[in-house]
Structure 1
Amino acid sequence: MGLLKGKALNWAITAAAGAGFLLFGYDQGIMSGLLTGRAFTAQFPEIDTTEGANGSASLQGTVVAIYEIGCFFGSIGAMVFGERLGRRWCIIIGCLILSVGGALQAGAYGIPQLIVGRIVAGLGNGMNTSTIPVWHSELMKANKRGKGLAIELAINIFGVMSAYWVDYGLSFVENEAQFRFPLALQILFALCTAAAVLVLPESPRWLINHDRIDEARQILSDVRIGIHEGANTEAILDKELAEIKHAIDEEREAAAGNTFKALLKNGSQRFRTRTLLGIGGQFMQQLSGINLITYYAPVIFQQSVGLPRDISLLLAGFNGIAYFISSLVPIWIIDRLGRRKLMLFAAGGQAVCMAILAGTVSNGSKSAGIVAVVMLFLFNFFFAVVYSPFLGCFLLTAALASASNWIFTFLVVEITPVSIKNIQWRTHIYFAVFNAFFLPLIYFFYPETQDLSLEQIDRLFTGGKIQLHWKAAMGGDVEGPSESPSTNGEHGDESKPACGKCVNAKEECLWGQIITFRPENALCLNGSDGLQQVEPSDERVSTQSPLMDRARRSPDTRRSIPAGNRVSSERDNRPTDSPSAISYINGNGDNSTPRLPASTRSLSNQDATTMLRMSGWSRNYDNGQTSMPSPMSTNPETNAFAPTRLGLTPRSHESPEVTTNGTTENAASALMSFRTDAAQTQLQPPAVDFPNMGFDVDPNLANMLPYGYSPEALFDDGIFLPGSAYQELHKTFRSHVFNAACSKPTSRRGTPDPSADETNAGDSGAAESAMSTTDLRMEQSEGTSTPPELTPRQERKLWSNWITEISSWLDKFDIHKHFRHTLPSMAERDSHLRLSMSALSARQLEKKDGSMPAYLSLALYQEAIHVLLPKLHTKDLAVIASCVVLCVLEMFSCSPKAWRRHLDGCANLILSMNVRGDSGGLEEALFWCFARMDVCGGLISSEKTLVPVSRWTLNDSFVATVEMYKSADGFEKQAHYACYLLGRILDLFARFQIDLDTTNSLVRRPPDQHAAYTSEWDQLMTAILDWYTDRPPEMRAILTQPATFGPKSSPFPTLLFSNPAAIAANQQHHTAQLLMLSHKPADHKFRRKTRSILWHARQICGISMSNDHHGCWTNCIQPIWLAGRMMSHPEEHRAIVELYERIERETGWGTKWRVDDLKEVWGDLSV
């Protein structure tokens, strides 16, 4: 328990309940085909009623029907002991008993043993069928219960169908396996059901009934996750627990200490009526004639219709398929039409089918036989539509109803063989009469339970008269008005409205809570100018805003007004420091400076445009896919929304007048209406009011940087758009990192370098001068920001995501897993590292599935930078860790074509602190994490790495480095070596100005360069091939399979590796081979044999598709692009596109830009 939550848990519960009903259906149908089997009748001739045999029809009926007697006593046992055992253990014990019964039947050599086996199996099945529906219903949401039970029906009928086809398939076997194997197969279903229920939660209703409230609350929380989107989940859980507790208390009071006697009384809870209705539902099921077909379908086809045995078995199998398909219909219609309508429809249809069946069987002609077969098929359709029409509201009622079910089933199954043999076609007449009788019974006595919770069903039976339909005046809430079941909380239920943006983002909607809208901030849409500010009006409701006019005409506006009225009373009483509150009124009583709660105060003065871009539109800005206009003016007179960042003093602007409630309500409605059209409107990013903190690198420092810096990007940069908060934060951070890289380290060791010391000594004055102004700015900003406050659940989710997802990206070369084990420990003492890690985790969850609020990653990113800036000059190892983590966040969020600009600051800091790939420990892990990003950026931009490969290790020569890695211990070092070789290729191509995007297989250089390029290419290619042939066993594939074309196959080879280092290293190797062979020197004959470019391209794709490690996926986006250009078959294209889509869906990394690039390359062959 606890591993699954939300929809996954609900489906697991439904699957477990369905497995129990699959077993039930299989047991029902298995005997029908065995009764006419040659091996079975040879073993048990006493019940052989086939033509020419002398077996007893009554004994045959008893052997088949005795199973129902066992089920009856099993149901009684569940009624007596079930409430003590609990729902889960009652099901598990039932499955174990059934398994024993199945073994006895499979091993039977005589009628007595067969009868005992069927009784024992019935005991277990009776316990299950009494308990599983109750357990399932008590765990399901009311508006999903009908669909869930319909799914149970479908699975039950699938079991019947399976039994028919198992019988038919084994009918061709002449030995005893013909009947022993089908009887033994039920043991497998029973054990699977027991195993599934063992790991699933107990019924919260049963737990509450036994005063285990905390467990019940946790289970309800797990089951309801994702259902109450945009709502106060805690309040809903409290309400649901209170309703269950209230219903249980009423049941206890009505029972007056004796629950069994209460079933026979008609007190305030009307237990007797409910029990009789439950028994009546079972009566209608079994006396409808369904068991006539389920248990004896082949017998009917053979003896009544006159078909041969083989055809009878085959038709029974097809009848089972039709039965199963029909059972799928209620899944979609039962919660829409309700149960009463379907019950009436089915009873009428069944009566007609049985009447026609009686007439056609009596005729005996071939055409009548065809009609009879059709009627049998059609009868199953009608029955499947309305299976399980009524549920008892607690276990005793359900168990007693289930027990009555088995008595009625026993009667039908017992008399059917005798009836068919003696009165023949007249058997169907009394079933037709029964079905006709059910119509008034349903119409006058059975209530509609559509969308009602079990507690609301209780209310149908309380009071002076049983209500056949729910009425709003009946309430349903223990301490207040209930959600109307007919509206599902949408219309007229007095609940707070939740805007679609928050619902889609899976965030709690703060709509209408402690917000005062200001008319001077009202925005309208202008066809040419985009967002335009509307002049404030003294009128109660502004008529100058087309946006508000449209909102007043919207039906959503009318629906949301009552909620607004109710919220007004809460607004007056809510404390201003509430974490969920947003107050636009300051301590002086005016509205001059908006103030947010502590959890988001560092994001104060966010305007509507920024919030739309951050939350609902954030995905549109990622990966540079959206083109944005120039930023708004930063003049305070034209922009009233000058956001504050890094805790700096915001720009002042005039205080508006206090607005009235009427304006508030209409502005709220306007924003609701505006949201629906926002996706089609392109907004200009707001101006961001940052003081000049050195966004551009000081000219005095530019020449002092260890590497240099990238120029300002001229293209859109993901969420780092001009004027956005992300861009301004990045500029500030990057500028300070450059300044820190030029300063002298205060607490870091480094390799002695006399020439470097002389340079530093000569330039120290310039560096200190450049730093002084920046340090002063940092001191001024320090201490003015409030860290974002995370709820315990958010914090737990962020750290869990770091441990299970993010760290796997960053530790793939590291067997010691420093990002998983060491960084969380360091984060306890270094708040900037903790904030950086939390920001990356929040951003990944935000992009992957929207499970984190859209503003949270920005708030954490901002606070991480604010805390980190004063620490940069210390050049501590934790500072490097924070910078690397923030680089990952920025690369995850920015346009891939701007990666180098987001890496160059950290590259200079790494060089200045002498962090290398052979430093050991955490330093080495941080370096290789950065080096992989550096290589990826170089592959995209066709440039050399930001950290020169000559500085990756202490050995500055290529030959010395190769020898070092060849003699290194540990297979993870070979992953470092593969990455190093790929970095060497980038360095080689950059020096000889080779564009990686070209696929020219022969490179012709000017004569003075050709020899040098050929020599270096040959030396590097030799090292690459040596890596592949000499790699240790841990770096080799543990499974290889060739490619196959066709349905459910892969057009690329399968190469499965045992560890992420091997996955990434082999992919880097094939990428290196592809690049080297694509740019082979002209007229050069390499002395060693190599594979083709296409072979390496297919290996790259195959490795990515065969291994699901998310960390390796994050680095394969560019290699797949390089390889994908080589592919020409549409199946290959489709597989690559599906892989890219899966990577983005499961990790959040943007891949669509590469899909678009590949489709352009493929042209007419594109998918």
Structure 2
Amino acid sequence: MFPKDPLLLPEPRRRVKTGCLTCRRKHKKCDEAKPVCGFCTRRRFECVWPSRASTFHLMVPGDERPTKVPATPDLQPIEAKPVAKPAVSSSFCDLKSLLNEVKPVAVPITPSSDESVRDRPWAFERNEVSGVSPDYANLRETLRDYMFLNAMTTSPSTPANLSGNIFENDLSLDDQLLNLTKGINAFHDGLEFGHGPADNDILSPEENLLLLTRYVNDIGPWLDMFDHRSCFTALLSKTAKDDPLMCAILTISSRQRDKLQHDRPVSETTYRLYERSLTYLIPKVKKVPDTSVMASCVILCCFEMMSSDPSETWTKHLKGCAALFRVADLHGFSGGLRQAVFWCFIRMDVMHAISHKTATLIPCENWLPRNCTVQHARALFLDSKFDGNESRDMYANYMVFLLARVCRLVYSGNLKQDDFESEWIELYTELDRWWQDRPSEMHPVVSVFKDGTPFPSILFCVAPAISGTQMFHTAMILLMKYKTRILRPLPTLAVDPVMRKSLIWHAKCVVGISLSNSDHGCLNNALQPLWVAGKLMSSKEEQHIIVQLLRDIENTTGWSTSWRIRDLQEHWSY
């Protein structure tokens, strides 16, 4: 089982029981001024009020007051008797009973008014999903609540262990379940219940084909960057009847299309597809997450990371996925699609760790099968049973693992000096071995360091070599940057000369690799390495090249980079 990790705790949500539906979705206190409340007036939101005749009272276990929920033909009232606040174990059972009563609902994908999404006051630019959009914010919170509630209600652990190991914080398990359940209910409150349009009313056959083509040619290869079997791309041939996964695929494809059309805000189509994805996921909340559900959640997490800067949104969604992985006992050697889903998520987790200067949300030990320790990692990753292509993939994954260990070492700040130095030397040695033992396909085809040019030209043939080598240089920068005084000079080890290179040399290699290789998945994965390397550049010419490179990445792939440009310019004191 996964050890206790306070990073995966869901923040408690405010309880909102009265006021307009917009304030409920935003979790704001409503002054109940009619016809338009003060909050909606200030923010220029549409103020929607529930009909008094269409509400009924729902008593949720652990709550002494009734909550108003729309009564509709599709979502029948859940009958629950008022009860005293139960103990953890009984609350766990009560919530599962409550969820068993919830039936799939037909939810319209049209906005709650005739107004087009792009015409609303909160329409936003292509650079990022707006943080002030009430509708997108509601969808984000609903996805996160879904992942946490799914993990909590399907865990094989006992309720006591679940509370202690996964979601330990100041709230009892009962209160956490209650808060998350209300978050899911809020999603229903904000929709016009009834029979929504069929999927073909969202996309024409031509649009559907264009989005699926975009996924196969561009987005799928992002997700399959270290997977020669192309599991994510091959999903399309297996998901014709899998509504959540198909909707997630169409959602991220639509979002990328929006991002690449420079003069167009996030489209109504993207919003409606995102909403439809959640309407298919919500009825599965009481079920143990299968691989398809986890793949859908990972794709939607990728959607969020592609669309915005590293606000709390990143962390919230990654925490939710990490919780699902714990429940499903998913790790880096699970095999098949489960393994592909894990490594796709872990690359995002490592980039999040670099961005937030923290350890990964899933500890490195839990990337390995049960009863395996970090000391077993090298043998596992370099197992001779892997064929040539899989061996190359796992060699790159081993560098992801080493980079995660470096992040934990340099950002944790809770190691004693002796332990820090011991781990530092071990990682330094492992990085050297990784560099020296690279298989032939992990070596560059061309490597040119020419005087008078700011950055080298380093060309590779395959994505694992591109991104794996770039992460190696990033790990070396972080490791050398945080070297203690006692370790200076470097330990006397029989290492490759590259291990003695300067921080600037490694930083220039990071930039040179992205300049020389156009693989879109590797360009997206380079955002945080370029941030680490860019901070070391002092020449105006070098800085200009990096800024233009980041702009080209966003214009080519749709992955948001503008926020990193601003961070670098601030660091350079522009």
After TM superposition, the score normalised by the length of structure 1 is 0.36
More contact order relative to length (CA 8 Å, sep ≥ 6) = 2
Counterpart AA for 1:1057: F
- Counterpart of 1:986? 407
What is the aligned partner in structure 2 of residue 759 from structure 1?
Answer: 161
Paired residue for 2:245, among 833, 843, 862?
A: 833
Aligned to 1:963: 379
Q: Match for residue 1057 of structure 1?
A: 460
Tell me how far apart the structure 1 counterparts of residues 162 and 358 of structure 2 sit (CA, whole Å): 28
Equivalences for residues 1037-1076 of structure 1 within 5 A: 1037-1045=444-452, 1050-1076=453-479
2:212 is the alignment partner of 1:799: yes
| Contact 2:444/2:460, CA 8 A, preserved across alignment | yes
Contact 1:826–1:878, Cα closer than 8 Å, also in 2: no
Q: Is the 8 A contact 2:220 2:233 kept in 1?
A: yes
Q: 1:1086 to 1:731 in 2, by over 3 A?
A: same
1:436-475 correspondence runs (5 A): none
Superposition deviation, residue 870 in structure 1: 1.1
- 2:151 counterpart of 1:741: yes
Task: Provide Cα deviations, 1:674-703, integer angstroms capped at 9, x if missing partner.
Answer: xxxxxxxxxxxxxxxxxxxxxxxxxxxxxx
Counterpart of 1:914? 329
Task: Look up the match of 2:555.
Answer: 1145
Q: For residue 448 of structure 2, what is the amino acid of its counterpart?
A: Q
Matched, 1:890 2:293: no
**How far is 1:614 from its partner?**
6.2
Alignment partner of 1:604 is 2:118: no
Say whether 1:1027 aligns with 2:442: no
The alpha-carbon deviation at position 852 of structure 1 amounts to 9.3
- C-alpha spacing 1:884/1:1013, structure 2 compared with 1 (3 Å): same
Change (3 A) 1:852 1:1131: closer
Pair 810,965 (structure 1): closer, same or farther in 2 beyond 3 Å: same
Match of 2:491 in 1: 1086
From the superposition, tell whether residues 783 and 880 of structure 1 become closer, same or farther in structure 2 (CA, over 3 Å).
farther
Tell me the equivalent position of 1:619.
126
The equivalent residue for 1:34 is none
SS in 1 for 2:458: strand
Contact 2:108 2:194 in 1 (8 A): no
User: How far apart are residue 895 of structure 1 and its match?
Assistant: 2.0
Contact 2:126 2:266 in 1 (8 A): no
Q: Please, what is the CA RMSD of the aligned residues?
A: 3.4
Identity rate, percent: 32
Distance 1:767 1:1093, change over 3 A: same
Alignment partner of 1:810 is 2:198: no
Deviation (angstroms), 1:773: 5.3
3-state SS of 1:1067 partner: helix
Question: 1:796-828 CA deviation, whole Å, 9 max, x = no partner?
Answer: 11001000110111001000001111x112321
2:565 is equivalent to residue 1155 of structure 1: yes
Q: 1:606 to 1:1123 in 2, by over 3 A?
A: farther
The residue type paired with residue 1112 of structure 1 is C
Residue in 2 aligned with 1:547?
none
Is contact 2:202–2:273 with CA below 8 Å preserved after alignment? no
> Does the CA contact (< 8 Å) of 2:360 and 2:408 recur in 1?
yes
CA distance, structure 2, for counterparts of residue 1093 and residue 862 of structure 1: 46
- Of 383, 387, 394, the residue aligned with 1:973 is 394
2:275 alignment counterpart: 862
CA contact (8 A) 1:619 1:847 kept: yes
2:422 alignment partner AA = S
How far does residue 769 in structure 1 lie from its aligned partner after superposition?
Answer: 10
**Cα–Cα, structure 1 residues 1100 and 966, in superposed 2: closer, same or farther, change >3 Å?**
same
CA shift for structure 1 position 1101: 0.5
Report 1:118-197 matches (<5 A).
Answer: none
What do the CA deviations read for 1:131-162 (whole angstroms, capped 9, x no partner)?
A: xxxxxxxxxxxxxxxxxxxxxxxxxxxxxxxx
Call closer, same or farther: CA 1:762–1:854 in 2, change over 3 Å: closer
> What is the rounded CA distance, in whole Å, between the counterparts of 1:832 and 1:743 in structure 2?
20
* Contact preservation (8 Å) 1:891, 1:902: no
Q: Deviations over 1:14-36 (max 9, x none)?
A: xxxxxxxxxxxxxxxxxxxxxxx
Query: How far apart, CA to CA, are the structure 2 residues paired with 1:530 and 1:950?
Result: 46
Measure how far apart 1:840 and its partner are.
0.4
Contact 1:1039 1:1054 in 2 (8 A): yes
Instruction: Give the deviation of 1:759 after TM superposition.
Output: 2.8
The one-letter code of the counterpart of 1:1015 is: S
Aligned residue runs from structure 1 range 867-882, under 5 A: 867-874=280-287, 875-882=289-296
> Structure 2 unaligned runs (5+)?
1-34, 36-40, 47-105, 167-171
2:422 paired residue number: 1015
**SS of the residue aligned with 1:618?**
coil
Residue type at the aligned position of 2:111: L
Q: What is the distance in 2 between the residues matched to 1:1081 and 1:825? A: 52
1:837 counterpart SS class: helix
Alignment of 1:319-338 (within 5 A): none
- The answer on whether the counterparts of 1:1052 and 1:1099 sit within 8 Å (CA) in structure 2 is yes
CA distance in 2, matches of 1:735, 1:1159: 36
With normalisation by structure 2, the TM-score equals 0.72
Tell whether the 8 Å contact from 1:934 to 1:945 is kept in structure 2 after alignment.
Answer: yes
**1:967 CA displacement:** 3.0
Sort the Cα spacing of 1:783 and 1:916 in 2 relative to 1 into closer, same or farther, 3 A: farther
**Any stretches of 5+ residues in structure 1 without a counterpart?**
1-520, 522-527, 534-597, 623-717, 994-1004
User: Aligned residue for 2:368?
Assistant: 953
> For the structure 1 residues 1010 and 852, does the alpha-carbon distance in structure 2 shift closer, same or farther, using more than 3 Å as the test?
closer
Shift of 1:531: 6.0
The CA distance in 2 between the partners of 1:952 and 1:735, in whole Å, is: 24
- What is the aligned partner in structure 1 of residue 318 from structure 2? 903
Q: Is the 8 A contact 1:742 1:767 kept in 2?
A: no
Question: Residues 773 and 983 from structure 1, CA distance in 2 versus in 1: closer, same or farther, beyond 3 angstroms?
Answer: closer
Q: Which residue of 2 aligns with 1:842?
A: 254
Matches of 2:533 and 2:114, distance apart in 1? 44
SS in 2 for 1:1080: coil
Q: How does 1:396-407 map to 2 (within 5 A)?
A: none
In the TM superposition, what is the alpha-carbon distance from 1:1096 to its structure 2 partner?
Answer: 0.7
Q: After TM superposition, give the deviation of residue 1137 of structure 1 in Å.
A: 1.3
State the aligned residue count.
451
Question: Does residue 1103 of structure 1 match 2:513?
Answer: yes
Higher radius of gyration, 1 or 2: 1
Contact 2:222–2:522 (Cα < 8 Å) also in 1: yes
Quickly say closer, same or farther: Cα 1:877–1:601, change in 2 above 3 A.
closer
